[in-house]
Amino acid sequence: MPDLLYIAVLTCVGIIAGFINVTAGGGSTLTLPALIFLGLDTSVANGTNRIAILLQNVSAVQSFKQENYFDLKTSLNLAFFTLPGSVAGALLAVRLEDKLFQIILGIVMIGVVISMILPKKKRNTEVEPIKPNMGIYLSMLGIGFYGGFIQVGVGFLLMASLQFLMKLDLVRVNMYKVFIVLIYTIPALLIFTLTDNVNWLFGIFLAIGNVLGGWWGAKMQIKKGEGLIKIVLGLAVFIMALKLLDVF
């Protein structure tokens, strides 16, 4: 049984990560290193993180639904195309050597930090939304693979795809995003569980925080001070990534 300090750390990290995941993306840049630094192998940390991701997005979907943001048909269509990729990505993740996955994770985290810090152009949200087409379905297949494999930063990929290919506003982007991640996380978590790569105690405590943060994030969306949060988060994650890469 984790001691009270572990419980407090996992829950607090989960709250922050859940909020970040739902409003933008990149929350797993906090949760994965936290799990690793608390003693889990990277593969087990990767699997354990999926418990929090799953329950966080159940909470977020319900929160969006309460605010009358829900489109089951389109959400299911988009999520369906992530499933083959998610299964393939998770199977690859559980077969990689721990050290190799740690190096990949460190590199990915640095890339996510850079994408968070770089200024983004304002997008025109007044255009008419586009229905899902082959381009968006193919992007969902690739995103499903990435999400099943490593998860870190998948929110940014989903937001970019949904905004550019379907011309959606930010709220609807996040509405679809949380549903898609919820669905593809189910088979990924199953694979990690069957290969004994999940620590359920750590995952449950982390999930409690993620659920609270996900619910709050769906209600609040993007608030003032996001820029400062991203800078602080970026610096912290950058240091964690260098640590994973044995730079110091």
How many Å apart are CA 11 and CA 163, to the nearest integer? 31
DSSP H helices, 118-225, are 134-149, 154-166, 170-194, 200-220
pTM of the full structure: 0.81
pLDDT, one tens digit for every residue, the chain (248 residues):
567 888 898 999 999 888 877 776 778 888 988 998 898 998 999 999 999 999 988 988 988 888 888 889 999 999 999 999 999 999 999 998 888 887 888 788 777 767 666 665 555 545 567 777 888 999 999 999 999 999 888 888 888 889 888 888 878 888 899 999 999 999 999 999 999 999 999 999 999 998 888 777 766 654 444 454 455 455 555 655 665 666 64
Structure token digits, residue 180: 């898609």
Helix (H, G, I), strand (E, B), or coil: what is residue 151?
A: coil
What is the total count of domains within the chain?
A: 1
Helix (H, G, I), strand (E, B), or coil: what is residue 199?
A: coil
| Residue 19 CA from chain centroid, whole number | 11
DSSP string, 43-81: HHHHHHHHHHHHHHHHHHHHHHHHTT---HHHHHHHHHT
Domain encompassing residue 221:
4-244
